[in-house]
Amino acid sequence: MSSKVIIIDDEPLARSIVIEYIQNFPDLVVSQVCSNGYEGVKAIQQYKPDLIILDIQMPKINGFEMLELIENPPAVIFATAFDEYAIKAFEAHAIDYLLKPFNQDRFEKAIKKWREQKNSSAVEKQTKQLLDDVALTAPQNQRIVIKDGSKIKIIPIQDVFYLEAADDFVKVFTKEGYFLKNKTMSHFEQVLDPSQFVRSHRSYIVNLQQITRIDPYEKDNHVAILRSGAKVPVSRTGYPKLKSILGL
């Protein structure tokens, strides 16, 4: 049985060399080649590939951000020319990666490794941890990338009003309404700059720049009023945190 492969790289020659190498594997079929993450997301949804060969530095959204947008991402072989942070993260999570330029032998090794690990849940977990890890580094900690239907939205973090927990998702509120991101509150608490974003409540993280005032609300509780008029609950433990950072 043959396996479907998608190649995602913004440089045409980098794509063509991978296609050339793949021709030596009769059971691998290239379903599509993509030149950026947007095309990549679409193609992955459409073809449900078994493997993607993914470049890191790409226009608009990088390889990691693209993977974040995909539910149940396929197996990935990362390829990069030079990206200190990414390489550090690969090594830290024992994830195989190709350093450009790579030769046929090295490529075959990566394919062999992928075949051995196919259907292993450990790899999936490693990749997830890798994505959590790189989300902490620039430029990814400066923006939130979200899939909104068929569109992809890049939200600079200073445009975020507040975040609200919603089951397995987090609602990201901006001036255009809210967008759903499949991450946890504690993930955002880690990624966002603590001097700008504070977890005011178990289910809320608020952008301090947006707060106009904090009013009492029922007994023991408070509510933060934002510039947009939105009201964000502040819990008993959240109130002192907000107060100390705002210097009240």
Partner 1 sequence: MATSPLSVKRFRIIFGFSWLIIIIDHIFLLRWFGLSWQTAIIDSAINDVLLILACMLVIMMLHYYLPQKEKYFHLFTWCILITVIVILVTKVILKNIFANDDEYIIFFNRSIWIRSSFDFLLLGCIILISVIWYNWQEQNEQEVRKQDAEKLSKEAELFKLRQQLQPHFLFNSLNSINALIGSRPEEARKMVQQLSDFLRGTIKKEEHQWVTLKEELQYLQLYLDIEKVRFGHRLSTVIGYDAALDELKLPALLLQPVMENAIKFGLYDTVDEIEISLKALKEENNLVITVTNPFDPETSTPRQGTGFGLQSVQRRLYLLFARNDLVSTEAKENIFTTTIKIPQA
By CB under 8 A, name the binding residues for partner 1: 10-14, 16-17, 20, 35-36, 38, 57-60, 81-83, 99-101, 103, 139, 143, 154, 156
Residue type for position 6:
I
Distances (CA, A) of 162 to 110, 213, 231, 236: 42, 15, 10, 18
Residue 20 CB, nearest distance to partner 1 (Å)?
6
Q: Cβ closer to partner 1: 41 or 185?
A: 41
CB of 10 to partner 1, least distance (A): 7
Nearest distance, CB of residue 101 and partner 1, angstroms: 4
Nearer Cβ to partner 1 (66/214): 66
By C-beta, is 40 or 238 nearer to partner 1? 40
Using the minimum distance from each CB to partner 1, give the nearer residue, 60 or 125. Answer: 60
Which H helix or E strand runs over 121? helix 121-134
Using CA atoms of 124, 36, 136, 83 in order, give the dihedral in degrees to the nearest 10. 100
Find the shortest distance in angstroms from Cβ 150 to partner 1. Answer: 15
Long-range contacts of 183-188 (CB under 8 A, 24+ apart): 187/132, 187/135, 188/163
Q: Which is nearer to partner 1, 13 or 248 (CB)?
A: 13
- Pick from 141, 205, 149, 198: nearest CA to 173: 205
In angstroms, what is the minimal distance from the CB of 81 to partner 1?
Answer: 4
How many C-beta neighbours within 10 Å does residue 109 have? 13
